[in-house]
Every structure is written in C-alpha cells, then in structure tokens.
Amino acid sequence: MQIQTTQHDHQIAKLAALAIALHMIEAVIPSPIPGVKPGIANIVTLYVLYQFDFTTAAWVSILRVFASSLLLGQFLSPTFILSLSGALCSLVALGLAATLPKRLFSAVSLSVIAAFAHIAGQLLVVRLWLIPHAGVSYLIPLFAMAALFFGVVNGLIANAILQQTQNGKSSE
C-alpha cells in the first residue's frame, strides 16, 4: 500500500522543519534568566495559523515540540513536559481566539495571548509537579513581562512576514 502525499503535506512538513530549526537555534542561545526564551518558533505557528488554519498550526506546533525534544535528547524529560504543556495551552488559547471575529485580533495580539497561555501552562506544571510550593508565584511577574515582551516582538515579526506574503501574492 502506497501512501500519497499532497502539496499541502509538503508545505506542512517544510513549515514544521523551519519551526524545529528555529527551536534548535534558540536552544543553544544562552538565556540570562533560566526558563526565559523568546519562542521564535512560535512565529511559524502564527504564520501557519493565518496562511492555513488552526489544525495545521496545531500540527506544526506539536511536531516541533516532539521533534525538537527528540533531537535535543529531552523527550519525556521535565523540559519536554514543560514545552508540551506550554504549546498545548498556547494552542488552546489560539483556538479559542480563532472562534472570535478576526477583526478583533492581529498577529501581535494573538502572539501575546499565546505567550501568556504558554507561560501559564508551564508555571502550572512547575507549581503542581516540579516545585509544589507557593513561592513559584513570585516568578509570575518576571515571566509575564517576558511573555508580553516576546509576544509583542514575535507578533510584529509574524505580522511583517504575513504582510510580505500578502504583498507578494498581490503583485503576482
């Protein structure tokens, strides 16, 4: 039995590979604050959400988490669980936002929502599993500021890419 792939399958694979590559690059960049990363692979997720649909964006995001964890030797480790919980919470938030009128949200606002959901999911796992102590709540302002900053930056980058894509399509 031969499985047929479509052009859409190839596009998803390429975009997932790009997200994985960005995640791998980010993994080797030292962070001044442990646990704070810019989440540049999420730019790809936002792009896919706008260019395709939520399901495709979810596939790209989940493929990135699993493949990156395998490549980094972190599969089923606490780091993998944190990454997966953040990605799942982010996807739930994006899925809910996608049901609302599109005119209410830009790539920037969706990026900020996703970043806050991502960090909330991770802090919840830290609090419930890794460090079951109320002191974890002291980290919330720091991580919230990072989520806001990187959410805005990644959203602006995604928005610029989306505009370039639209300009390229309209000039054809």
Report pLDDT digits (tens) over 49-102: 999 989 999 999 999 999 999 998 889 998 899 999 999 999 999 999 988 887
Whether residue 25 is predicted with pLDDT greater than 60 in this model: the reply is yes
pLDDT of residue 169: 67
Please tell me the pTM assigned to this model.
0.88
For 151-160, what is the mean pLDDT? 96
pLDDT of residue 30: 85
Whether residue 170 is predicted with pLDDT greater than 70 in this model: the reply is no
For 32-52, what is the mean pLDDT? 89
Which class for 83: exposed (0-12), middle (13-18), buried (19 or more C-beta within 10 A)? Answer: buried
User: d(Cα 116, Cα 127) in Å, to the nearest integer?
Assistant: 16
CB 60, CB 12: distance < 8 Å: yes
> Among positive and negative, which fits the CA dihedral 115, 153, 160, 68?
negative
pLDDT of residue 42: 93
For 4-10, what is the mean pLDDT? 87
pLDDT of residue 35: 76
pLDDT band at 137 (very low <50, low <70, confident <90, very high): confident
Instruction: Tokens 């690059």: give the residue.
Output: 25
Least confident of 88-92, 140-144, 150-154: 140-144
- What H or E segment, with its residue span, contains residue 61? helix 54-71
For 107-135, what is the mean pLDDT? 92
For 121-126, what is the mean pLDDT? 93
Residues in the chain, overall count: 172
Structural domains of the chain, ranges and CATH numbers in brackets: 7-170 (1.10.1760)
Structure tokens at 7: 């052009």
CB 51, CB 165: distance < 8 Å: yes
| Cβ neighbour number for residue 89 with a 10 Å cutoff | 21
Distance, CA of 45 to chain centre: 6
Closest of 61, 72, 63 to residue 26, by C-alpha: 72
Q: Between 6 and 1, where is the model more confident?
A: 6
Q: Between 35 and 147, where is the model more confident?
A: 147
pLDDT of residue 172: 57
